[in-house]
Structure 1
Amino acid sequence: MKKSIMILAIVFLGQSTIVNAITDWTPYLKPMLLGCDYPDPTDKLPTYYKASIVNNKIKGNKNNEFEEIVTTYTLKNATTFGYPLAKVEYLQGQEWSHLKLYFKDSKFTALRRQFKLPELNKDPDLIAKVIRNSLEGYEVDDGIGSLVLEFDRAEKSISCFWGH
């Protein structure tokens, strides 16, 4: 009898561990640390990350090339860079886009020092300049468009924006 109860307890604990497994988005989102180089999670998101998505909401008309499309993934049991992640939002416009990470609390602001400026002046025909670089983020203008990193404590988010 004790052996049966022990086996059932182990099986039950094993199942609850699987159900509550944390999905770490860090490997997928790591390029954001290097100049806000962010992935498009609407384009071939690896299956591993899909396990943490509990809701997928799309706003906008995909058939209208001039309309913004906003895809929001609401997450459960997800982290990135060591902090609990609540949502991932991807906006795609005609000549702009952003990836925004929403956290469960404001402790994520400790990550700011890990987010580096992009490599400037890689293209000799363009002269990139840093417009702003602070604890709240940065803005870089390369003459064609802007790249912006924003840490928003009130919204509990980090966003990388690129646009013309």
Structure 2
Amino acid sequence: MPAEAADQDPGRREVRKVARVVLLDPQDRVLLLHGHEPDDPSDHWWFTPGGGLEGDETHEQAALRELVEETGITEVELGPVLWRRSCSFPFAGRRWDQDEWYFLARTAQTATAATALTELERRSVAGSRWWTCGELTEAHETVYPTKLAGLLRRLLDEGPPATPEVLDTEIV
């Protein structure tokens, strides 16, 4: 389909640009948020902090803003982009198509307090938890991205990749 026709296709969904943060504490634990469908807390999963870019924001600016809004953590050293992922999933009655950039970040600030959640986030985020790589490896819960335990292990063993790694597309 030509680009002009694709732009006019009413069934085509816009891809949301997203910045996510792989936040590590001094013990190399990663912070994950616990989310669920707004009307069904039994449909739940864990995910990295982050969200969509707003206005002319850069990915870096969005990563830091989202981290503050979702965790209250402000003392952060933002590192490089580790991974990029395309994903598509149903949530809150609609389908979300996203291009996600995962930034490495480090902090010594481990107390969390969501300071500026959106209305939808207030209905669907149940808290946060610091996870060790071993705990992630043993977890029977759903975690996004789905191979986070192995990715984290490689990151801790080898350091950040020289260029962002493109992860497998995830369609749920």
TM-score bracket for this pair, using the shorter chain length = under 0.3
**Larger Rg over CA atoms:** 1
Structure with more relative contact order (C-alpha pairs < 8 Å, separation 6 or more): 2
